[in-house]
Amino acid sequence: MRLILLGPPGAGKGTQAQRLVETHGIPQLSTGDMLRAAVKAGTDVGKRAKAVMDAGELVSDAIVNAIVAERIDEPDCAKGFILDGYPRTLVQADAVAKLLAERGLDLDVVIEFVVDDKAMVDRIINRAEQAKAAGQPVRKDDNAEVFDERLREYYKKTAPLIGYYYAKGKLKGVDGMADIESVTQQIEALLAKTARKKVTADS
């Protein structure tokens, strides 16, 4: 199963991705996590990405596409993967299509988290407070000022993917404002439906 989680920052993609990892045994490929790891490790990619990430802007397509291309050839991705926070631009979406086509694979579904933006800033600030309370590092971009820029980037560069995947017949929506458990249930229902359609189409 290969799926994309699409939605603005704070929509709950990461939380749901972790649940999908546990339930379906496929890895979560979060470009945000991979970039943060690169920053922490001080690699060339990390050095180039840091200032851009801190400002809430998008890292270049070339960098992110290269990271994902390498990652999906690892053995744990053989049975599928969850793309979380990738693709975020039309160039990245074309890169995913090409990567999959070259491997004779296809996407099963793109899940859009439909949310109220105003509530997202509160979620992000909560996330920062919770991390701080738990003694975990707080993300530098989890604050109200940078959040505005992240949201602008989302609408400018990522929201066009909604139309892109709708036109391909891959887009399904979930109510991202619902509680965590019920979002999980909505996603599982969608995945079951997609799997049934696939069986019918293959037979």
CB of 91 to ligand AMP, least distance (A): 10
Residue with Cβ nearer ligand AMP (28 or 31): 31
CB of 182 to ligand AMP, least distance (A): 23
CB of 113 to ligand AMP, least distance (A): 12
Strand partners, 175: 114
Residue with Cβ nearer ligand AMP (121 or 198): 121
Instruction: Look up tokens 């990892």; give the residue.
Output: 21
Cα–chain center distance at 54 = 18
Which residues contact ligand AMP by CB under 6 A? 9, 31-32, 35, 52-53, 56-59, 64, 85-86, 88, 92, 141, 150
Residue nearest to ligand AMP (CB): 32
Q: Catalytic site residues?
A: 13, 88, 127, 139, 150
HSE of 107 in the Cβ direction (CA atoms, 13 Å)? 23
Q: Which residues of 52-75 are buried (b: 16+ CB within 10 A; e: fewer)?
A: ebeebbbbebebbbebbeebbeee
